[in-house]
Amino acid sequence: MTIQAMTAQEVTMKVFNKEELFIVDVRNESDFKDWKIEGENFEHINTPYFELLDGVEEMIKEIPTHKEVLVVCAKEGSSVMVAEMLSDYGVDVFYLKGGMKAWSEHIEPVKVGDLDDGGEMYQFVRVGKGCLSYMVVSDGEAAVIDATRMTDIYLDFAISKGAKITNVFDTHLHADHISGGRTIAEKTGAAYWLPPKDATEVTFDYSPLEDGHDVVIGNTTISIAALYSPGHTIGSTSFVVGNKFLLSGDILFIDSIGRPDLAGMAEDWVGDLRETLYERYRQLSEELIVLPAHFMIIDELNEDGSVSERLGTLFTNNHGLRIENETEFRHLVTENLPPQPHAFQEIREVNMGKISPDLEQQREMEIGPNRCAVR
């Protein structure tokens, strides 16, 4: 029997298409518990590779014969070793090319809709980490919002659409992933927009995003309206694009809401978060399609792999938008918080331009789930 590589992209397609996959995760138990590849019809077993050095005989009986089997480790090496051992027993197996590092970095662009006057909205799904970024394309111009550090995908995508990136935005200073915004702006000569209240400590020049400010993309006036929406961070800003989409950053997600503590100010920002969600967002059209900066669980993915929902539907279905009692709301967002993202302080410093770690260090910092929400 032979072993074959399966790419992060192929695994992503299995997530989107809800296919079955049996995952043998050979990382150590704490890494597995912290973060794993999730799909609606994925099954997992976890046995660290270092417990399999004497053989996989014990494990063979747990491996199904009627499903595709994928061995996964951190970087690939151990999964190849275990896959080869399994294949000696006659099992057909795949290993994940590039391991969880590649899984964390893979990004899949999905079209979420058309804008009036011929514009298009694309969502870039970083399925392994739950990060979502966006590109608005209109008449030869493009805007990128909440870009990840894998900047080539946006640059190449814009070229494939025949568009020049003219504006780059971050809805807020991110704490869970390293922003690619500044790099894209430098490479394309685009303006890099940041909310000034989140940018007080940044070490580079930027264009300040202000409430009510409009930026036009393309000749067909797709306007991006900045909506000051503090709560996750003090400067958090949402964008209304072409009167059709609400890019909600880390303020509102499909099945949860933003957490106010990652910049260390949970108590202070609860009131802002509530005002944004319960007053400012209420004044918007319920027909707006909400496009958040994250998803937390795989159930939030639509059939095509995109993550979006009508604002009106979220007012009915999202628990975080339906807590009448203010004390109860305060309790939810300050006391029931999940663990904070891995290395979030350092990531914030990278995004402020204060430290410049090498690629390997950046990867290490970003390992794990995003954890930007409370549910």
Q: Which residues bind other proteins (CB under 8 A)?
A: 28-31, 48-51, 53, 73-75, 77-78, 81, 360, 364
Tokens of 277: 């969600």
Closest CA to 228 of 182, 269, 174, 171: 171
Measured distance CA(100)–CA(371) in Å, rounded: 17
Measured distance CA(95)–CA(89) in Å, rounded: 16
| 73 tagged catalytic | yes
- Element (DSSP H or E) covering residue 326: helix 326-335
Report the residue number, 46 or 243, with the smaller CB distance to other proteins: 46
Measured distance CA(43)–CA(285) in Å, rounded: 41
Minimum separation from the CB atom of position 364 to other proteins (A): 6
Cβ-based neighbours of 257, under 8 Å, separated by 6 or more: 251, 273, 277, 318, 320, 321, 333, 373, 374, 375
Count other Cβ atoms within 10 Å, centred on residue 120.
17
Report the residue number, 74 or 234, with the smaller CB distance to other proteins: 74
Minimum separation from the CB atom of position 50 to other proteins (A): 4
Which of 6, 56, 69, 73 is an active site residue? 73
Contact of 311 with 284, CB cutoff 8 Å: yes
Tokens of 244: 């059709």
Contact of 224 with 169, CB cutoff 8 Å: yes
Contact of 230 with 248, CB cutoff 8 Å: no
Minimum separation from the CB atom of position 343 to other proteins (A): 13
Within 13 A of 15's CA, how many CA atoms are on the CB side? 28
- Roughly how many angstroms between the first and final C-alpha of the chain, as a whole number? 46
Report the residue number, 51 or 210, with the smaller CB distance to other proteins: 51
Minimum separation from the CB atom of position 106 to other proteins (A): 20
Report the residue number, 77 or 162, with the smaller CB distance to other proteins: 77
Report the residue number, 43 or 364, with the smaller CB distance to other proteins: 364
Measured distance CA(341)–CA(262) in Å, rounded: 9
Give the three-class secondary structure for 76: coil
DSSP string, 101-124: HHHHH--EEEEEEE-GGG-EEEEE
Closest CA to 320 of 329, 310, 331: 329
Count other Cβ atoms within 10 Å, centred on residue 193.
27
Strands 373-374 and 257-258: antiparallel
* φ, ψ (nearest 5 deg) of residue 227: -125, 110
Catalytically active residues are: 73
